[in-house]
Structure 1
Amino acid sequence: MKHEQKHNPPMKYGMAIDLDKCTGCGACMVACMSENNVPFKKDESNKLDSITWIRVFKLTNGKSYPDTDICYLPRPCQHCEGHGGHSPCVSVCPATATDYSVETGIVSQIYTRCFGCRYCMAACPYHARYFNWWDPVWPEGMEKYLSPNVSPRMRGVVEKCSFCFHRYQQAKNEAYLNGESRVSEDAYQTACTQACPAGAIVFGDLNNPEHQVHQIVRPDPKNGNKSRNPRAFRLLERTGTNTKVYYLSSREWVRRAGDNYLAHEKTGQVSKPHH
């Protein structure tokens, strides 16, 4: 069967996470661990060597009752694009174990190339990468429930969120067999997106105007892909990492906290050094 070759713009998969909807239930963390064979220990109290590809953080406005306000912030890998694909982690990896895909905009992690130098962990401003200090040990019988589409990682390598890339590969194969030139929005969704009971996570192609995530974010390519949505922001946006995970909130203090503004600063302004 011959397929017509259509020249479509490259895809750029990303997320829009509405923090005003997130309840901090942690369903996204559980779904991610189950889908991607993320190892765990019997005692997870030591967070220095635990692994979770998406972590839910609790933020507060720092005020006492009755003015206290709480926000829950899920943080997967931000899949930075940097400038022309020069993500902080990709730029420092000496083994080319991590790479930026121009086709999808996803920052990959190739475990068989990684030798555990952890330069990428030092370069990542979001602490989204985790080092395997131990070989995964699955409870008896649980190995039968591991996903066959994701390889378990060995000790001594770095791992992180992949936007469930194996699901994209499956959707791409199905689209090819059906003679479709593009992967549809419903055909490729991450596990955390589908598991969120509040519908706080929206996933899709940021370059495709038909995808919901594009309609929510409305990225401006002439302004560093910043969102045209006044409720939207990106974590540490001033660093220029050009991430593909956008957060939404109507609360000013949440947006300020997301870019780590100081108390005397105004949103959108960078403080000048004092001489």
Structure 2
Amino acid sequence: MAKRYGLVIDLERCTGCDTCTIACKVENKMEVGSGVRVETVEGTHRDSPAGKYPDLSIYYLPIACMHCDQPPCRDACHAEAIYQRPDGIVLIDEEKCDGCQECLPACPYQALVYDPDRNVVRKCNLCFERLDQGFEPFCALCCGVDAIFYG
């Protein structure tokens, strides 16, 4: 059986600093939030807690492609632009993507983002080029609280 990659994020460690989103933007030359983004679980606005003082709570939820074993986004893509490598990494061939966005509602993690400037759908590619060279994903490398694990 071939090695399969995945990403795990420790929600107890994540502080919502967005370093992972900036790392993804820099490494993959995409808009912030196209590869990985951080959302607030509690509260009505980003960085607003739920509850009343002094009983406040806030949780951050990084959203990235989970590189599903049976990716529903791939099945929804009529252009066959979404494919899966033998190691489990799910990628989008931007040359084949026609921007129809049929894959967006298929993703249970809402990890796909439409890029209107390029008319393509984008997502976390798990920094596959870095992995192929023996390096870790850039978001995991840059995370200051070591909340992102891959393997």
Give the alignment's TM-score, normalised by structure 2: 0.88
Deviation at 1:104, TM superposition (A): 0.9
Deviation at 1:53, TM superposition (A): 1.1
* Counterpart pick for 2:131 among 168, 176, 192: 168
Deviation at 1:64, TM superposition (A): 2.2
Alpha-carbon separation, structure 2, partners of 1:98 and 1:15? 19
* Counterpart pick for 1:122 among 88, 102, 105: 105
Alpha-carbon separation, structure 2, partners of 1:12 and 1:96? 22
Matched letter for residue 202 of structure 1: F
In the alignment, which residue of structure 2 is the partner of 1:54?
36
Structure 2: tracts of 5 or more residues without a match: 44-49
Alpha-carbon separation, structure 1, partners of 2:9 and 2:115? 28
Alpha-carbon separation, structure 2, partners of 1:77 and 1:108? 10
In the alignment, which residue of structure 1 is the partner of 2:19?
27
Structure 1: tracts of 5 or more residues without a match: 1-8, 41-50, 135-154, 172-186, 205-275
Contact 1:60 1:68 in 2 (8 A): no
The structure showing larger relative contact order (alpha-carbon pairs under 8 Å, at least 6 residues apart) is 2
RMSD: 1.6
Between structures 1 and 2, the one with greater strand share:
2
Alpha-carbon separation, structure 1, partners of 2:95 and 2:109? 24
Q: Which residues in structure 2 correspond to 1:90-129 (within 5 Å)?
A: 90-101=74-85, 103-129=86-112
Q: Report whether the alignment pairs 1:133 with 2:116.
A: yes
Alpha-carbon separation, structure 2, partners of 1:12 and 1:168? 12
Secondary structure of the 2:73 match is: helix
Deviation at 1:77, TM superposition (A): 1.0
Alpha-carbon separation, structure 1, partners of 2:75 and 2:34? 23
Secondary structure of the 2:130 match is: helix
In the alignment, which residue of structure 1 is the partner of 2:64?
76
Contact 2:20 2:143 in 1 (8 A): yes
Secondary structure of the 1:56 match is: strand
Secondary structure of the 1:68 match is: strand
Deviation at 1:94, TM superposition (A): 0.9
Contact 1:54 1:76 in 2 (8 A): yes
Q: Which residues in structure 2 correspond to 1:172-187 (within 5 Å)?
A: 187=134
Matched letter for residue 64 of structure 1: K
Deviation at 1:59, TM superposition (A): 1.7
Bigger Rg, which one: 1
In the alignment, which residue of structure 1 is the partner of 2:7?
15
In the alignment, which residue of structure 2 is the partner of 1:212?
none
Alpha-carbon separation, structure 2, partners of 1:106 and 1:65? 44
Aligned length: 145
Matched letter for residue 164 of structure 1: C
Deviation at 1:79, TM superposition (A): 1.3
Deviation at 1:122, TM superposition (A): 2.0
Give the alignment's TM-score, normalised by structure 1: 0.50
Alpha-carbon separation, structure 1, partners of 2:34 and 2:120? 14
